[in-house]
């Protein structure tokens, strides 16, 4: 274990002991707010401190077993050798777990998200690809037990979507999907291509965490232009009778959001405002991250559309994530919603980057 990480764990353990003592002091018990604050801190620190102490004890056992490995008795040496192997593995596993425990959790990981997919280069084929991506994410959401709500859509002339914006609701949605933002590229032979030539099309994907009430941006109502219109697409006769769809323009930034999913204009307006807040907060985070972390490889959660993050090569059945040089030859499974094989390596790389910063 690196000295810097060990020192951090020692300080954390000392603080845990200190907080434990403070919680027993009468003056703290008489102050509910202070007691609650320290209790929450202790709940965060205690599992890591306990694991660190256990890891240290395992290390001591390992040193003892190594000493026995030089015993003159062959049977003792054999037993000690097996013990050394088992304890070395236990020490390594404990170290990995402790390093992971040091990585601060992303406070947005449990948030719902807004998923935006837009066709970019490639015309009709890009719109079809946008439909394929939305289907991929929808099927992945099904496997996770999440709910997908379409807020607005603009269908392509030959299938798919020129643009589709949805809300995905469930546990840990942002934690799993926050690496998906960026430019996605597909290479394949379109159905309309008579010569069998491979075409390249692109779509942009943005993952925006839904904003909690406490995080909401202070928006001046005078900065908003709110338009209502009749919803289009599925919905029966109702969509042609009332102006239930809502479009909100944030005049200072030019951001435009809309929602036509609900039959109630009030609900559509609430959803559109929630999406606007998410966009404004994401834009502010982008500005902060560009100032403080311009070199981070994964561009997590920024919605940066200038970076090509992934290529889907249909003729070869290959998917490549360019941020971590990950190549998988299981494209059909991935497009059918098997995204864990893509998400897990990205999450590991992200945790490694965070740990490197801590170290």
Domains assigned to the chain: 3-102 (1.20.58), 113-210+308-357 (3.30.70.1660)
What pLDDT is stored for residue 332 in this prediction? 95
Provide the residue-wise pLDDT of the chain in tens; the chain has 359 residues: 778 788 888 999 999 999 999 999 999 888 988 999 999 889 889 989 999 999 999 999 999 989 888 888 888 888 888 899 999 999 999 988 888 788 777 778 888 999 999 998 888 899 999 999 999 999 999 999 999 998 888 898 888 999 999 999 999 999 999 999 999 999 998 876 767 788 899 999 999 888 765 456 677 888 888 888 776 654 444 444 566 788 888 888 888 888 876 667 777 888 888 888 888 877 776 676 565 444 344 443 333 334 589 999 999 999 999 988 999 999 999 999 999 999 999 988 888 787 777 65
Q: Which two tokens stand for residue 358?
A: 């801590």
Provide long-range contacts, Cβ within 8 A and 24+ apart, for 287-294. none
CA distance 335 to 344: 16
CA distance 209 to 173: 9
CA distance 163 to 203: 9
Closest to 172 (Cα-Cα) out of 249, 105, 254, 243: 105
Q: What's the predicted TM-score (pTM) here?
A: 0.65
Residues in the chain: 359
Q: Strand 308-313 vs strand 318-321: parallel, antiparallel, or unpaired? A: antiparallel
CA distance 152 to 260: 6
Closest to 266 (Cα-Cα) out of 246, 249, 247, 248: 246
Closest to 19 (Cα-Cα) out of 52, 53, 42: 42
Q: Strand 182-188 vs strand 308-313: parallel, antiparallel, or unpaired? A: parallel
- If DSSP codes are grouped into helix, strand and coil, which group holds residue 16? helix
- If DSSP codes are grouped into helix, strand and coil, which group holds residue 78? helix
Q: What is the dihedral of CA 284, 285, 291, 292, to 10 degrees?
A: 150
CA 5, distance to chain mean position in Å, is 25
CB 184 within 8 A of CB 133: yes
């Amino acid at each position: 274990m690196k000295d810097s990480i060990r020192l951090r764990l020692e300080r954390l353990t000392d603080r845990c002991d200190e907080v434990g003592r403070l919680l027993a002091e009468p003056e703290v018990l008489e102050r509910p707010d202070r007691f609650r604050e320290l209790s929450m801190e202790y709940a965060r620190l205690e599992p890591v401190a306990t694991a660190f102490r256990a890891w240290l004890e395992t290390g001591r056992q390992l040193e003892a077993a190594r000493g026995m490995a030089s015993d003159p008795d062959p049977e003792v040496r054999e037993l000690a050798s097996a013990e050394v192997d088992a304890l070395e593995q236990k020490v390594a596993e404990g170290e990995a777990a402790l390093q992971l425990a040091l990585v601060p959790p992303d406070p947005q990981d449990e948030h719902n998200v807004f998923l935006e997919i837009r066709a970019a280069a490639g015309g009709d084929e890009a719109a079809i690809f946008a439909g394929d991506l939305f289907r991929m994410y929808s099927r992945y959401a099904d496997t996770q037990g999440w709910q997908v709500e379409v807020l607005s859509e603009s269908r392509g002339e030959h299938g798919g979507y020129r643009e589709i914006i949805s809300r995905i609701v469930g546990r840990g949605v942002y934690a799993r999907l926050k690496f998906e933002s960026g430019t996605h590229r597909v290479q394949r032979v379109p159905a309309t291509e008579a010569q069998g030539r491979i075409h390249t099309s692109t779509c942009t994907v943005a993952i925006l965490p839904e904003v909690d009430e406490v995080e909401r941006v202070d928006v001046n109502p005078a900065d908003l232009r709110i338009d209502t219109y009749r919803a289009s697409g599925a919905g029966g006769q109702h969509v042609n009778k009332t102006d239930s769809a809502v479009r909100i323009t944030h005049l200072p930034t030019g951001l435009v959001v809309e929602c036509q999913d609900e039959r109630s204009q009030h609900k559509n307006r609430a959803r559109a405002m929630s999406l606007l807040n998410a966009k404004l907060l994401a834009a502010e985070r982008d500005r902060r991250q560009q100032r403080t972390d311009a070199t981070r490889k994964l561009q997590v959660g920024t919605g940066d559309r200038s970076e090509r993050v992934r290529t889907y090569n249909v003729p070869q059945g290959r998917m490549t994530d360019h941020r971590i040089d990950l190549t998988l030859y299981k494209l059909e499974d991935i497009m059918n919603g098997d995204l864990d094989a893509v998400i897990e390596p990205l999450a590991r790389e992200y945790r490694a980057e965070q740990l490197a910063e801590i170290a």
